[in-house]
Amino acid sequence: MKKRNWICLTAWLSLWLGPACFGQSITVRVINMNTGHPMQNRPVHIVWFYKKDEPRPANYENHLNLETGSGGEVQFQLPQPAPSYFVAEVTLASDYWHCACNGQFATKDVLGNGIVRSAGPKLTPAIKDAKAEPGLMLFFARPFNFFERLIAPLERG
């Protein structure tokens, strides 16, 4: 009976502690703010940044080049040890989009709380119920409206 209890305890601990032993993952999801549809086939660039006194992995690439899939998302593993922060950038199909789809993010904030960024204060049904989740970076983009498309060439000068 003691052996069975020991096996159950070991199995439970490995399931409970297992995710902490492996690389942590982050998901980047890009959504069209007006329609609520995922934006697929968008390039996503990730660059890791370590502080001077932080340990770094022995052999690692300091950047990733990925692309969103059919669900408008891409998932990646953090290197071990994880960097303090990283830069994420989503490239959209044209210049006629508003998006807060880039920036520098603290790894602990993304893993602990998640990130939600929208392309303006307008609350559409697509983003009204959006919630940050640990390990999720949710970006909402919107195309220029008719007036913005008319004045965009004038602003570029």
Domain span holding position 50: 22-156
Task: Check which CATH number belongs to the domain holding 133 and give it.
Answer: 2.60.40.10
User: Residue 18: what residue type?
Assistant: G
Is residue 141, in this structure, part of any structural domain at all?
Answer: yes
> How many domains is the chain partitioned into structurally?
1
Tokens of 116: 């939600």
Q: Are 104 and 86 in contact (CB under 8 A)?
A: yes
Q: Are 32 and 126 in contact (CB under 8 A)?
A: yes
pLDDT in tens, 25-70: 999 999 988 888 999 999 999 999 999 899 988 887 889 999 999 9
Is residue 7, in this structure, part of any structural domain at all?
Answer: no
Which pLDDT does position 48 carry in this prediction? Answer: 93
pLDDT in tens, 84-108: 999 999 988 777 788 888 899 999 9
